[in-house]
């Protein structure tokens, strides 16, 4: 079968690879669409040549797990797991969720990593009705979903971006900097560097900051005594828990099916256009996810949800 693999010079390429051999708790999925995350294109050089790339996918179960868990043959599924950018891939059934009717496989493929990250970060931060939440880097894939999910949870959301954006359809207060913002209960922080330091200073006593991304590429230098404050302890947490996402994926797909959640696809095309996808992913003007149609599956099957 064909797959997108790590190649020489930190570039990906299409290559013939062996068929996956599922373990007893894995289903074999015919992959129709995959999504590209920033780190996957930026850090291809970290993988040994020939490694099948990618994590986000959607397709059809062609062989259910031998242990009887997970979706049956013919189920339309979204999947999260290593080696996703291939014509066929094996995924643990704890990382698969059935795609509801009315949600395209192309849109579903754009959801796993970004959606799981946004949902679990908000949950870990304790966001709920009445919370004041700051989302930095809110124009990115994770940020956009975090804004919507926080609003659905009943929070007051402040969405910070480098450039003005529409008012998030009434979901959030858009800002282009962090000056003049009143203290918040939680921060979903995707920028790093000086933004992380400033956002930390905006936390109320007892507040929680989830540090997810580092788009700034700069060091975060905290002034002396900036980690001390009177009252309930503030906390800064790293984020990286994407284990066993099936239940969370199903929840997010359900929200998509009812129209309560949407995923923007900013660029899509055949997986044979990987270099174009790379350029789109690294272009700040690309709003939303970059997705690829695998093999013969048509790129125009992808439904852009705004």
Rounded to 5 degrees, φ, ψ at 155 are -85, 160
Does 121 lie in the same domain as 39?
no
- 97 and 127 inside one domain: no
| Residue 209 shares a structural domain with residue 277 | no
Both 100 and 64 in one domain: the answer is yes
pLDDT by residue, tens only, the chain of 306 residues: 999 999 876 678 899 999 999 999 999 999 999 999 877 877 777 888 899 999 999 999 999 999 999 999 999 999 999 999 999 999 999 999 999 999 999 999 999 999 999 999 999 999 999 999 999 999 889 999 999 999 999 999 999 998 777 767 788 999 999 999 999 999 999 999 999 999 999 999 999 999 999 988 899 999 999 999 899 999 999 998 999 999 999 999 999 999 999 998 999 999 999 889 988 988 888 888 999 999 877 654 544 433
154: domain CATH number is: 3.40.50.720
Q: Which two tokens stand for residue 147?
A: 């804004």
**Are residues 96 and 125 part of one domain?**
no
Q: What is the pLDDT of residue 304?
A: 40
Q: Is residue 247 part of a domain?
A: no
306 domain-assigned: no
Q: Are residues 124 and 234 in the same domain?
A: yes
Report the distance separating Cα 29 and Cα 79, nearest Å.
9
Are residue 21 and residue 68 in the same domain, yes or no? yes
CATH assignment of the domain containing 15: 3.90.180.10
216 & 272 share domain = no
- CB-based contact 109:54 (threshold 8 Å): no
Dihedral sign, CA of 123, 190, 203, 223?
positive
pLDDT at residue number 10 = 65
Q: Is residue 249 part of a domain?
A: no
- Nearest one of 305, 287, 301 to 143, comparing CA atoms: 287
Domain limits for position 52: 2-111+263-301
Residue 38, SS3?
Answer: helix
Q: Which residues contact 180 (CB under 8 A, 6 or more apart)?
A: none
Residue 183, in any domain of the structure: yes
Q: Is residue 245 part of a domain?
A: no
Same domain, 74 and 148: no
Judge if 150 and 227 occupy the same domain. Answer: yes
Provide the pLDDT for residue 306.
30
Q: Which of 238, 253, 282 is the last residue of a domain?
A: 238
Residue 257 lies in a domain: no
| Domain-embedded: residue 255 | no
pLDDT, position 300: 46
Q: Structural domain tally of the chain?
A: 2
Same domain assignment for residues 100 and 125: no
In this structure, the answer to whether residues 119 and 107 fall within a common structural domain is no
Q: How far apart, in whole angstroms, are the C-alpha atoms of residue 61 and residue 76? A: 7
- Note whether residue 197 is domain-resident: yes
- The angle that helices 246-257 and 112-124 make with each other, rounded to 10 degrees, is 100
Calculate the alpha carbon distances from 296 to 98, 101, 128, 270 in Å: 22, 22, 43, 9
DSSP helix/strand/coil, 50:
coil
């Amino acid at each position: 079968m064909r797959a997108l693999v790590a190649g020489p010079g930190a570039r990906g390429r299409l290559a013939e690879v062996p068929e996956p051999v599922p373990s007893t708790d894995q289903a074999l999925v015919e992959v129709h669409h995959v999504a590209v995350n920033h780190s996957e294109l930026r850090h291809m050089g970290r993988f040994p040549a020939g490694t099948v790339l990618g994590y986000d996918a959607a397709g059809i179960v062609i062989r259910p797990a031998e242990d009887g868990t997970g979706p049956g043959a013919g189920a339309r599924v979204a999947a999260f797991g290593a080696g996703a950018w291939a014509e066929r891939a094996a995924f643990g059934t704890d990382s698969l969720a059935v795609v509801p009717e009315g949600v395209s496989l192309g849109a579903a493929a754009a959801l796993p990593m970004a959606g799981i990250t946004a949902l679990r970060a908000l949950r870990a931060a304790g966001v709920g009705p009445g919370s004041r939440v700051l989302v930095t880097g809110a124009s990115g894939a994770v940020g956009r979903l975090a804004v919507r999910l926080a609003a659905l949870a009943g929070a007051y959301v402040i969405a910070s971006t480098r450039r003005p954006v529409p008012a998030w359809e009434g979901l959030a207060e858009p800002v282009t900097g962090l000056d003049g913002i009143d203290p918040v209960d939680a921060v979903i922080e995707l920028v790093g560097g000086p933004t992380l330091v400033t956002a930390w200073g905006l936390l109320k006593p007892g507040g929680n900051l989830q540090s997810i991304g580092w788009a700034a590429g700069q060091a975060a230098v905290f002034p002396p005594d900036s980690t001390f404050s009177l009252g309930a302890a503030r906390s800064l947490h790293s984020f990286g828990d994407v284990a066993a996402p099936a239940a969370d994926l199903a929840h997010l797909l359900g929200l998509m099916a009812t129209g309560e959640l949407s995923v923007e696809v900013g660029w899509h095309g055949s997986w044979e256009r990987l270099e174009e996808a790379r350029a789109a992913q690294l272009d700040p003007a690309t709003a939303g996810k970059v997705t690829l149609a695998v093999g013969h599956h048509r790129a125009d099957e992808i439904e852009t949800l705004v």
